[in-house]
Structure 1
Amino acid sequence: MSTQKSARRAKGSVEENALRLETDKAEQIIDALNADLADAYVLYHQLHKHHWNVEGAEFHDIHVFLQEVYEDVEAAADELAERAQALGGIPHASMDALSEAATVEAEDEDVYDIRTSLANDVEMMGDIIESYRQHIELAENLGDYATGQILREQIETIEEHAHHIAHYLEDDTLVTESAMN
């Protein structure tokens, strides 16, 4: 149990940073990064759910693929949080704060067929891609080219995963209709 009586910093506060980005500009970018961080964790948990629940003839390949994707998303979330901290902010860490900041909504707790699950994943990825594009523009308009570059690198990975999921959703498959019933 902590013996500290008061917080060292209040949530939502922004300090001066060693990166020499003005505090008012940093605050806008930190807000965007915290939204991206929250969205990453929603996507992470949804992908993990699908990884746990995938069944069928293509189970193994999809199971392994989803693990790779959620591991990439988790690494991206860590990078977003570290960037927000470097800019003088406090990255969201509680489930309440992450839920409040998220701009995407996870599917419910029910388990769906893998096609539906993957379609939900690619839809969420598309929403995140659109948000990243806006945040890249915001960061660069505020003179934070490094955050723009971080988001650019992450968007490439998300787009690649969305593209691969789209391939899984194509009609061409070795599994016949009678084998699926």
Structure 2
Amino acid sequence: MSTQKHVRQQADTVEENALRLDESKAEQIIDALNTDLAATYVAYHQVKKHHWNVEGAEFRDLHVYLGEVAADLEEGADEIAERAQALGGVPLSGGATYEEHAPVEPEGQDVYDVRTSLHNDMEMFGDIIESLRDHIGLAEDLGDYTTSEMLRRNVETIEEHAHHFEHYLEDDTLVVETAQE
């Protein structure tokens, strides 16, 4: 724990910002951004777990792909956090804080088969997509077109990955499964 005696800005506060967005509007957008930040980091940790634990005939491709997904999530989270700070807010931080504020729940600590893992990721991404779309509308309604555009880029990336998860989960494959006894 820090031994620093002076807090520069308390969590859950909004300061005046150089972007000249009204404080009450900034509060609403920062709250939405922190929700998206939390959801993104919960998804990041779940995808990293799958990246580490993937097995099977498609191991290499999925391992590499899930690493790319995690990198995209981390990049998106960084952009979201920096925007919240630019608007005068304090971005959320810490695993427990993310899970508490996220509109999604991680699958838990157990390791699941690849299909279950990817299905869980696809479902989580669907929930994140819905939240991002709502927050794009909020930012538009409040006149924060920069945040709206940034969230559009994020939702585009998440949608692309959700679509790829869907393709991975299709039944068509070159891998022949043997009957389970």
Q: So what's the TM-score if we normalise by structure 1?
A: 0.96
Task: Answer yes or no: is 1:123 the counterpart of 2:123.
Answer: yes
Structure 2 runs not aligned, ≥5 long:
none
Letter in 2 for 1:116: T
Cα distance, 1:19–1:167 mapped onto 2, change above 3 Å: same
Q: Which residue of 2 aligns with 1:144?
A: 144
Letter in 2 for 1:105: E
- Please list the CA deviations of residues 87-112 of structure 1 after superposition, one character each: whole Å capped at 9, or x if unmatched: 00000012232222111000011111
**Identity percentage of aligned residues:** 66
Cα distance, 1:63–1:37 mapped onto 2, change above 3 Å: same
Q: Which residue of 2 aligns with 1:157?
A: 157
Cα distance, 1:180–1:150 mapped onto 2, change above 3 Å: farther
Q: Which residue of 2 aligns with 1:86?
A: 86
Q: Which residue of 2 aligns with 1:133?
A: 133
Q: So what's the TM-score if we normalise by structure 2?
A: 0.96
- Counterpart-to-counterpart distance in 2, 1:41 and 1:179: 38
- Counterpart-to-counterpart distance in 1, 2:11 and 2:96: 13
Letter in 2 for 1:167: H
Write the mapping of 1:94-105 to structure 2, written as runs, cut at 5 A.
Answer: 94-105=94-105
Structure 1 runs not aligned, ≥5 long:
none
Cα distance, 1:53–1:3 mapped onto 2, change above 3 Å: closer
Write the mapping of 1:1-181 to structure 2, written as runs, cut at 5 A.
Answer: 2=2, 4-178=4-178
Letter in 2 for 1:11: A
Letter in 1 for 2:17: N
Cα distance, 1:24–1:116 mapped onto 2, change above 3 Å: same
- Counterpart-to-counterpart distance in 2, 1:180 and 1:63: 25
- Please list the CA deviations of residues 49-76 of structure 1 after superposition, one character each: whole Å capped at 9, or x if unmatched: 0001100000000000000000000000
CA shift, 1:180, in A, is: 8.3
CA shift, 1:4, in A, is: 2.8
- Calculate the aligned-residue CA RMSD, in Å: 1.5
| Most deviating of 97-106 and 51-60 | 97-106
Cα distance, 1:180–1:154 mapped onto 2, change above 3 Å: farther
In the TM superposition, structure 1's runs of 4+ consecutive aligned residues that sit over 4 Å from their partners are none
Cα distance, 1:78–1:8 mapped onto 2, change above 3 Å: same
Letter in 2 for 1:145: Y
CA shift, 1:178, in A, is: 1.4
